[in-house]
């Protein structure tokens, strides 16, 4: 039963603690749009996306009005385009323009799926699509791209890591006059989930149904406010407080997801429990860690407190819904988190510490701005390091780096909106080129043999 206290508590969370639904994402399979004629394939892609998603934004806006719950983003994810373009002869950027056109028609914030899955090697169409990413992201505003280069089952494709180091650098150069925004729409994964509703890494996996609704909740401000009410609590009580708060946040996500599913006539998929921060003061994962007891995010103890937070969020969320998926945990995107921006500016948070934190957070090195003269091989090595953490720990890890062309450590890039402000972080100057140039496949770890 819902009582008056629950209602008032939820109203306070929304009005004063930045509680929101970060995204409602419609996943759409494009496998039936494959055609040897690329122009015909693009027509099929556009028609199917618009047919399924034309009511997505109006329905979400109606749910917002009815329940007074903010839904910040309405998004679409599609089948990895490399799988569609492989059958067609022609420039894969045509598909990017088709996705952009569909996004504009439907009025969504982003559309994800200009993607390739190359964890065990390159199949037909993969290399061509990957090489087209810089131009595709430079020529579109709403299209997001991702590439999966490793998994616990297959190991790490080192050739793909090297290629993606080059692609990230070139994508930043293609959009240098716009604060290198192209690179902010590109993610490199290990163990990429097929049902992730968050950009820029969302794509509709080949194992997913024809069309589905996935919801991403947020609420780091709510968690911090709850912890502020138990200042003398033991660490066990802290974990329990986070679990109870995550339970309440997830219930709201379930409400929105099931309502959107019913109104759109599309199956409900999952709730992603991830605490997604924003540049808004108070809406920060870093501030939660500091509320637990750190003087500044990045100091010793940061990895332990983040591990506690991530685990408690998942435990609380799964009690509120049996349909939990995506990434689910705590995001640490530096430029999107007010507390992490502060910590990076003062030197408390460095790239090496962020890498350690990714072993226990829900994604990886996210929205990190690095000097523009960082070499492609260094970027590739950072990708390989992060993929290794994901591969060995059987978890999703990702890299979203933005080389700030023409800028150095200590300066900043200003993206605005949810993407925030990126302090440029120092990168180890020693070269990993000999390692990266070896190429080949880093073998899967022993724990991959679970059958």
- Predicted confidence (pLDDT) per residue in 126-162, tens digit: 999 999 999 999 999 999 999 999 999 999 999 999 9
Higher-pLDDT residue of 243, 328: 243
Q: Report how far residue 24's alpha carbon sits from residue 124's, in angstroms, rounded to the nearest whole number.
A: 32
Q: How far apart are the first and last CA of the chain?
A: 44
- What is the phi/psi pair of residue 347, to 5°? 90, 5
The reported pLDDT for the residue numbered 419 is 77
Give the pLDDT band (50/70/90) at residue 4.
very low
Mean pLDDT confidence for 336-363: 90
**Residues linked to residue 156 through DSSP beta bridges, in sequence order:** 150, 442
Residues 157-200 pLDDT 10s: 999 999 999 999 999 999 999 989 999 999 999 999 998 888 88
Residue 241 confidence (pLDDT): 92
- What are the structural domains of the chain? 25-190 (3.20.70.20)
Distance CA 214, CA 222 (A): 22
pLDDT for the residue numbered 1: 43
Q: What CA dihedral angle connects 386, 392, 397 and 403, to 10 degrees? A: 10
- Is residue 383 within 8 A of residue 161, CB to CB? The reply is yes
Q: Does the pLDDT at position 19 exceed 80?
A: no
Mean per-residue pLDDT for 412-439?
Answer: 88
pLDDT of residue 248: 83
Closest CA to 355 of 329, 394, 381, 328: 381
The pLDDT tens digits of the residues spanning 54-74 come to 999 999 999 988 888 888 899
**Local confidence band at 11 (pLDDT 50, 70, 90 cut-offs):** low
Judge whether residue 6 has pLDDT over 70.
Answer: no
Report the C-alpha gap between 238 and 329 in whole angstroms: 16
The predicted-structure confidence for 351-381, as pLDDT tens digits, reads as follows: 999 999 999 987 889 899 999 999 999 999 9
**Residue 365, both tokens:** 């090195």
What tens digit of pLDDT does each residue of 89-105 get?
Answer: 889 999 999 999 999 99
SS3 string of the chain? CCCHHHHHHHHHHHHHCCCCEEEEEEEECCHHHCCCEHHHHHHHHHHHHHHHHCCHHHHHHHHHHHHCCCEEEEEEEECCHHHHHCCCECCCHHHHHHHHHHHHHHCCCEEEEEEEECCCCCCCCHHHHHHHHHHHHHCCCCEEEEEEEEECCCEEEHHHHHHHHHHHHHHHHHCHHHCCHHHHHEEEEECCCCCCCCCCCCCCCCCCCCEEEEEEECCHHHHHHHHHCCCCCCHHHHHHHHHHHHHHHHHHHHHHHHHHHHHHCCCEEEEECCECCCCCCCCCHHHHHHHHCCCCCCCCCHHHHHHHHHHHHHHHHHHHCCCECCCCCECCEHHHCHHHHHHHHHCCCCHHHHHHHCCCCCCCEEEEEEECCCCHHHHHHHHHHHHHHHHHHCCCEEEEEEEECCCCCCCEEECCHHHCEEEECCCCCCCCHHHHHCCCEECCCHHHCCC
Phi, psi of 272 (to 5 degrees): -90, 120
Does the pLDDT at position 2 exceed 70? no
Q: Are strands 421-423 and 412-414 parallel, antiparallel or unpaired?
A: antiparallel
pLDDT computed for residue 449 by the predictor: 74
In this predicted structure, the answer to whether residue 272 has a pLDDT above a threshold of 90 is no
CA distances from 178 to 143, 173, 402 (A): 16, 10, 12
Tens-place pLDDT, residues 377-422:
999 999 999 999 999 999 999 999 999 999 998 888 888 777 778 8
Q: How confident is the model at residue 9 (pLDDT cuts 50, 70, 90)?
A: low
> Peptide bond before 200: cis, by omega within 30 degrees of 0?
yes
Mean pLDDT is highest, among 145-159, 207-221, 234-248, for 145-159
pLDDT at residue 84 in the model = 93
Average pLDDT of every residue of the chain = 89
- Check pLDDT > 90 for residue 14: no
| pLDDT value of position 161 | 97
Q: Cα 147–429–346 angle (5° rounding)? A: 90
């Amino acid at each position: 039963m819902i009582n008056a206290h629950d209602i008032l508590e939820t109203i306070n969370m929304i009005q004063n603690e930045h509680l929101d639904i970060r995204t409602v994402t419609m996943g759409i399979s494009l496998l039936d749009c494959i055609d040897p004629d690329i122009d015909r394939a693009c027509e099929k892609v556009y028609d199917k996306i618009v047919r399924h998603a034309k009511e997505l934004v109006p329905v979400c806006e109606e749910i917002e009005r009815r329940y007074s719950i903010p839904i910040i983003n309405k998004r679409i994810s599609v089948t990895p385009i490399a799988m569609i373009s492989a059958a067609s002869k022609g420039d894969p950027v045509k598909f990017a323009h088709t996705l952009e056109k569909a996004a504009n028609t439907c009025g969504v914030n982003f559309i994800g799926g200009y993607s390739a899955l190359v964890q065990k090697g390159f199949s037909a169409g993969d290399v061509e699509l990957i090489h087209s990413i810089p131009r595709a992201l430079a020529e579109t505003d709403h299209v997001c791209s991702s590439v999966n280069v490793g998994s616990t089952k297959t190991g790490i494709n080192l050739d793909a890591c090297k290629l993606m180091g080059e692609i990230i650098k070139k994508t930043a150069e293609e959009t240098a006059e716009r604060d290198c925004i192209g690179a902010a729409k590109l993610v490199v994964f290990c163990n990429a989930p097929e049902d992730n509703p968050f950009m820029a890494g969302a794509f509709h996996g080949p194992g997913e149904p024809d069309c589905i609704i996935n919801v991403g909740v947020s609420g780091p401000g709510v968690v911090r406010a709850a912890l502020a009410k138990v200042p003398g609590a033991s660490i066990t009580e802290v974990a329990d407080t986070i679990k109870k708060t995550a339970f309440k946040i997830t219930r709201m996500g379930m409400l929105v997801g099931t309502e959107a599913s019913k109104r759109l006539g599309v199956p409900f998929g999952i709730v992603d429990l991830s605490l997604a921060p924003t540049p808004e003061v108070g809406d920060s994962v870093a501030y939660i860690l500091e509320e637990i007891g750190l003087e500044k995010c990045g100091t010793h103890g940061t990895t332990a407190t983040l591990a506690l937070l991530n685990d408690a969020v998942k435990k609380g969320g799964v009690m509120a819904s049996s349909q939990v998926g995506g990434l689910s945990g705590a995001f640490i995107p530096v430029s999107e988190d007010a507390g992490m921006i502060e910590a990076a500016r003062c030197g408390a948070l460095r790239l090496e510490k962020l890498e350690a934190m990714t072993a226990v957070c829900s994604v990886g090195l996210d929205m990190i701005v690095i000097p523009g003269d960082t070499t492609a091989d260094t970027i590739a090595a950072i990708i390989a390091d992060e993929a290794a953490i994901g591969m060995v720990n059987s978890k999703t890890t990702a890299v979203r780096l933005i080389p700030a062309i023409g800028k150095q450590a200590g300066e900043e890039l200003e993206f605005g909106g949810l993407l925030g402000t990126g302090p440029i972080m120092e990168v180890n100057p020693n070269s990993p080129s000999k390692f990266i140039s070896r190429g080949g496949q880093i073998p899967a770890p022993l724990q991959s043999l679970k059958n």
